[in-house]
Structure 1
Amino acid sequence: MKKETIKILICDDDDLNLGINERCVEIISKREDKEILIYSFREPNEDMMSLIESNQIEIALLDIELEHEDGLAIAKRLQNKNPRIPIIFITGHEEYKGDAWNIMAIGYIEKPVNLEKFDLLFTRALALVENEKKRKFLELLDIVVNKKHIQIRLSNIISVEKVLRKVELHTSRGKYTASGTLNEIVERLGTGFIKINQSVVVNRDKILSIDSTTVYLANGEQHIIGRTYIKQVRNACKNHRLGS
């Protein structure tokens, strides 16, 4: 598998702690030979919520105590989008430990940050992300083509399109015309795919670029973005590394 950028959210309302967390993440990621992209926030805002909604964050480090919305609430938002996301809580208070475990975080770090524990938990988070990527890469979609069941690797699918009463799947290995409805297939594709109009769903990893009206895919396909889908598509692609 090619090396992919791991997107990391850090939220801490203390500038010093925020800087320490960023530096620790950078040092450990470099040692583990991981390419990362850090999104840092001092408090929840519209940009952070848009980032969460786009479902691009793969690891989160959250201060539990924030002025406007605590880290536990942010963690629940992230888990609603991705139940498998590794979350590490950072707290200066013992009483929050139980809350952290209830959220199913992989661990918590007390302030001031213990570098050894930070290393242990963040390295574990990187491993979990890597395992999840491998799982998704190997995941298969079962479809019916000419009354025969065949399986297609999700990572090979470029786009799925509704054509009359059939569904066409465009893949890196060719085109398949399957029985069933677009919605039935979409339900089994997972979060790596996005609907761009009423008839077309595309694999995020196969998007080369977008403009105000069109999505351009790795196989040369171009699809018009439906008017009611423009904001959703832009948010999904805004924080996704296109053409990777």
Structure 2
Amino acid sequence: MNAVTAPLGVLVVDDEAPARERLRDLLGDIAAQQPTRIVGMAANGHEALRLIEAQPVDLMLVDIRMPGMDGIELAQHVARLAAPPRIVFVTAYDQYAVDAFELNAIDYLLKPVRAQRLEAAIAKVRASMPVARDSLDRIAEPRRHFSVSERGRIALIPVTDVLFLKAELKYVTARTVEREYLLDESLVQLEQEFPERFVRIHRNCLIARAAVAGFERDEAAEHWLVRICGFDEKLPVSRRQWPAVRAALLGNEPGSGVK
């Protein structure tokens, strides 16, 4: 069997069992034209990531609207893998049918999925078009998790657990109360993605608004320090950033939280 007709390993991801079963049946219906084999059925994004770690996956058929981790966020995490599977989105909500889904890398199927349309999508996948990570970032809502590759596995860190983000050489360190994680992302991109959650206090540091316990003056260094909830380390605020930090975190109450 040549590479064109070799079965693709497919992971079906949908929070509704009937939808998963329909896709499984449709794949069987078009097997003569587009051979596939089901390698897993997942009810949510977290379960899908565990299955991807356990076995090779060529193609993911992913619902967009799912609780806990939606399909777009799942695709963002998958795109960071060394050899990411191809992704075809499947959803009942046609408002997601925007120009970004017309990119060669990603197809978009509207429920109820028709066999002919699914066959065409798999044909596009066989052209070995890579997932475009930048297009996912443009159309996605802010992520709920950061993804980190550790010992060949994907570790998910809830964004709400991160106290601050600090640029370290070509990586960004995400600090939680328990430990540090290395993110292969830029501080600028993270600042743009999470403007409501993180505030820049220094050229190499963003701090979570919710993590700020207050400020105190470092008279020796002649700058302000941020006190962090549940964390002993205090972070310096650059002179350049202090007016913006003060406005963002203290508003019109100059004395609030400052000693």
Instruction: Pick the TM interval, shorter chain.
Output: 0.3 to 0.5
Q: Which has the higher contact order (CA 8 A, sep 6+)?
A: 1
Q: Which has the higher helix share?
A: 1
Larger radius of gyration: 2
Give the TM-score taking structure 1 as reference length: 0.44
Give the TM-score taking structure 2 as reference length: 0.42
